[in-house]
Chain A
């Protein structure tokens, strides 16, 4: 006999198999998901969900695709949250302390309640990466926020109205473009290709008969 549990989607009770995730339990209950469902494997943040287990006071946030159902769960999905992304020209901005002040000044209104960190579905130290951003330490902010899937659960809980995923994203783009060391071998190769250094060689290999290509492929040296 399959073990069943009772869960409540938007307050309505359904009996579902205990080994399902919240997402597959909704489908078992009969929902055809349109919003609130994306990659189904924990990478896209589409299925941000809020729940409370009956008898417990704590309000929890999670990704519906990565969380197993528990008996007595009261569940509501958050298919959209009005996160506030500011637009900018990546070519024009620079990784200076002022840029955060200009684009996301509300981060300086953080009251240190740590609700964002508690809400994070990826167990990131969200308040810490906001602190790094305040200080203009974009590299640390980028590193700390790297695993963010932009589900927005942090922002739903923030009394200062901060759009944390957007702050992390800005820090990462600044780090990737301006702070990380330049890759000389990449620049060199791009230049070589542009100058036509491989044009003749690629033409030659494209024209080789299949038998010769097989021989070349099967005997090619593999870097250890």
Chain B
């Protein structure tokens, strides 16, 4: 299925393979990395960003596409919504049905709270389901939560919020234990030891996995547990604005039935925003590895209600998205492919970098190879570099790919590419929002003491770059924490009179700032129908 030109380039990769396998490519020094990032990482392209004109993070820098949504009108600004009629009335309202939302719901239920989940697609339609590579936890003899902290803090450019990162690494072993007890099938050896590997930027092998369906295995188990507990899940129903009360507390959300277009109100004593990421906003026109619903809805709702954003200008481009074939352009090629030994190789067959640099460095390095250095391989939609997958079979023995990364093998075989025999073409894809809504170490926002945020919608856990395997971990750790904390808090909250005044005030602020947008937000679904593009 490769073109003749690609076939020619594959010969270069094959010619250098034996020699390359004898040596480990050099890792970059700190200053080398910094220069590379400034020159080639998309976060440094000024024209990709906008300034926030109003609200608690006014003056902050955000991706232009997100800025546009922040400066758009509420969907319900001109809707007549009767807040005296409440469709749902619960202790804990979880917005979002991914890994964080499901974990939160289970823990809130475990704590005895009356909890419900609303999600705009189905429960489990989330980036969690697509996470392939694994989940970090320092549970081996040569490792410790402190070492995990150091790796994550350095990998995130020393910008993570210490109190958040502390929770992430300290509660990691317990998160794995919790999942194991729920019945998640981790890769183990015959003695029960976890089979762990490196991820980019880890100093110990602490990547736990469930083949390359790690997120799927976790998500389907959590979903099953939510259903077993008979926790109400309202699907195809999107939260579009938070509701507040006369004391300024969060008090629920306005919901939109995605199929009928009807609005209704859900009242709650505590609200958890677990709405995930923003890949489907296609920042700087990048393709994305994210699921269909990743449109930053929670950030828009939370920001309109007064919650500040943190590190929203830092985006993770996964270095290895599919560059070819075009049918799966932008799909994730798990980092585990490199953990298992595949090198990144340019059109001439040269290993131009160490395969396990952190994601931002690897992405920038691939972009440099394909742009200024002119060492990329041309594809119908751009260019890419080789990921030398046949090395995995040589290093780990025949059958390693089928056993350890079956999803990748299947995805490529659909298009008649056998990654066991031929290398594959990759280019960075929009993968993760490092930033999000700001929370304290306890999981609550500072502005509303009964509003919590969990999962990818949180900013500050990872700093300005995230390591592989720390996101599956964060949705579990912060999801569980949010569920427990929300259930406890619900016992002491009294909700007053419901109102949507903040929506009106936000509109007035927009007007004062001279912003007149024709658009509405949150976006809810990307505009992919041809007439909408």
Chain A partners chain B: yes
Across the two chains, which residue of chain B brings its CB closest to A198? B145
Q: How far is the CB of B434 from chain A (nearest CB, A)?
A: 18
A32 with B529: CB separation less than 8 A: yes
List A contacts of B139 (CB < 8 A). Answer: 183, 185-186, 189-190
Q: Are A206 and B162 in contact (CB under 8 A)?
A: yes
Whether A181 and B191, one on each chain, are in contact in the complex, defined by CB atoms closer than 8 angstroms, is yes
Q: Is B259 an interface residue (CB 8 A)?
A: yes
**Is A214 interfacial (CB-CB < 8 Å)?**
yes
Chain B residues, Cβ within 8 Å of A182: 192
Instruction: Take A180-B185, A217-B153 as given contacts and tell me if A146 and B213 are in contact as well, using a CB distance cutoff of 8 Å.
Output: yes
A210 contacts the other chain (Cβ, under 8 Å)? yes
Residues of A contacting B444 with CB < 8 Å? Answer: none
A193 to B213, CA, bound (A): 28
Known: A41-B332, A187-B177. A202 touches B145 (CB 8 A): yes
A174 at the interface (CB under 8 A from B): yes
Pair B292/A183 contact, Cβ less than 8 Å? no
Contact A122 B173 (CB under 8 A): no
Q: A38-B292, A181-B191, A183-B180 are in contact. Are A30 and B224 (CB under 8 A)?
A: no
- State A175–B185 Cα separation when bound (angstroms): 7
Give every chain B residue within 8 A of A29 (Cβ-Cβ). 530
Q: Which of A119-142 contact B (CB under 8 A)?
A: 122-123, 142
CB neighbours (8 Å) of A54 from chain B are none
Known contacts: A68-B327, A185-B140, A206-B162. The answer to whether A37 contacts B292 by CB under 8 A is yes
The CA of A20 and the CA of B530, in the complex, are separated in Å by 13
Note all chain B residues with C-beta closer than 8 A to A52.
none
Q: Quick check: is B474 within 8 A (CB to CB) of the other chain?
A: no
- Choose, from A3-11, A84-92, A105-113, the stretch at the interface: A84-92
Is B286 an interface position by the 8 A CB rule? no
Q: Is A12 interfacial (CB-CB < 8 Å)?
A: no
| B-chain residues with CB within 8 Å of residue A89 when the two chains form the complex | 228
Bound: A169/B315 CA distance, A: 35
**Cβ A210 vs Cβ B173 within 8 A:** no
Q: Are A181 and B289 in contact (CB under 8 A)?
A: no
**Minimal beta-carbon separation of A85 from chain B (angstroms):** 6
Is A159 an interface position by the 8 A CB rule?
no
Q: By the criterion CB–CB under 8 Å, are B186 and A176 in contact?
A: yes
A213 touches B158 (CB 8 A): yes
The CA of A120 and the CA of B138, in the complex, are separated in Å by: 38
- Chain A interface residues toward B at CB < 8 A: 19-21, 24, 27-35, 37-44, 46, 66-68, 85, 87-90, 122-123, 142, 146-147, 149-150, 169, 172-177, 180-187, 189-190, 193-194, 198, 201-202, 205-206, 210, 213-214, 216-218, 220-223
Contact of B203 among A35, A206, A223 (CB under 8 A): A223
Q: CA separation between A181 and B192, bound complex, in Å?
A: 5
Within B3-59, which residues are at the interface with A (CB < 8 Å)?
30
Given contacts A43-B215, A202-B166, 12 further A-B contacts (CB under 8 A): A41-B130, A44-B216, A46-B125, A147-B406, A175-B183, A176-B221, A181-B192, A183-B180, A186-B180, A189-B140, A202-B145, A202-B170
A23-B170 Cα distance, complex, nearest whole Å: 42
Cβ of B211 under 8 Å from chain A: yes
Q: Judging by beta carbons under 8 Å apart, are B154 and A217 in contact?
A: yes
Known contacts A29-B530, A220-B203, A205 near B150 by CB under 8 Å: yes
Q: Across the two chains, which residue of chain A brings its CB closest to B140?
A: A185
CA distance in complex: A40, B221 (Å): 21
6 A-B pairs with least C-beta separation: A173-B183, A217-B154, A181-B192, A176-B183, A177-B183, A176-B185
- The answer to whether B149 touches A205, judged by C-beta atoms less than 8 angstroms apart, is yes
**B258 CB-CB contact with A under 8 Å:** yes
- Chain B nearest CB: distance from A92 CB in Å? 11
- Tell me whether A169 and B140 are in contact in the complex, defined as CB-CB below 8 angstroms, given that A66-B414, A90-B182 are known contacts: no
Is the CB–CB distance between B153 and A88 below 8 Å?
A: no
Q: How far, in angstroms, from A183 to B144 measured CA to CA in the complex?
A: 16
Q: A27-B529, A173-B221, A220-B203 are in contact. Are A202 and B169 (CB under 8 A)?
A: yes
Find out whether the CB atom of A40 lies under 8 angstroms from the CB atom of B180: no
A222–B166 CB distance below 8 A? no
Residue B236 lies at the interface, judged by CB distance under 8 Å to chain A: yes
Q: Are the C-beta atoms of B185 and A142 separated by less than 8 Å?
A: yes
For residue A168, which residue of chain B has the nearest CB? Answer: B220
Q: What residues of B have a CB within 8 angstroms of the CB of A185 in the complex?
A: 139-141, 193-194
Given A173-B182, A223-B205, decide whether A27 and B227 contact each other with a Cβ distance below 8 A.
no
Q: Which residues of A contact B146 (CB under 8 A)?
A: 198, 201-202, 205
Query: Scoring B residues 179 to 216 as 1 if CB is less than 8 Å from chain A, else 0, what string do you get?
Result: 01111111010111110001000011100000101011
Report the bound CA distance from A88 to B182 in whole Å: 12
Flag if A169 contacts B224 (CB, 8 Å): yes
User: Does B122 make an interface contact (CB < 8 A)?
Assistant: yes
Among B191, B203, B225, B289, contact of A41 (Cβ-Cβ < 8 Å): B289
Cα–Cα, bound, A184→B194 (Å): 10
Contact indicator B180/A190 (Cβ below 8 Å): no
State whether A19 touches B182 (Cβ < 8 A).
no
Tell me whether B220 and A32 are in contact (CB under 8 A): no
- CB of B220 within 8 A of CB of A150, answer yes
Give the docked Cα–Cα distance between A218 and B201 (Å): 11
Provide the residues of chain B in CB contact with A66, threshold 8 Å. 328, 411, 414
Query: Could you jot down 27 A-B contacts, CB within 8 Å?
Result: A24-B327, A27-B528, A30-B529, A30-B531, A38-B121, A39-B130, A41-B328, A66-B414, A68-B415, A90-B228, A122-B410, A147-B213, A169-B220, A172-B185, A176-B180, A177-B183, A181-B190, A181-B191, A183-B193, A184-B192, A189-B139, A190-B173, A202-B170, A206-B162, A216-B154, A217-B158, A220-B147
Q: Is B230 an interface residue (CB 8 A)?
A: yes
Contact A38 B291, CB 8 Å, known A146-B185, A220-B203: yes
Q: By the criterion CB–CB under 8 Å, are A87 and B259 in contact?
A: no
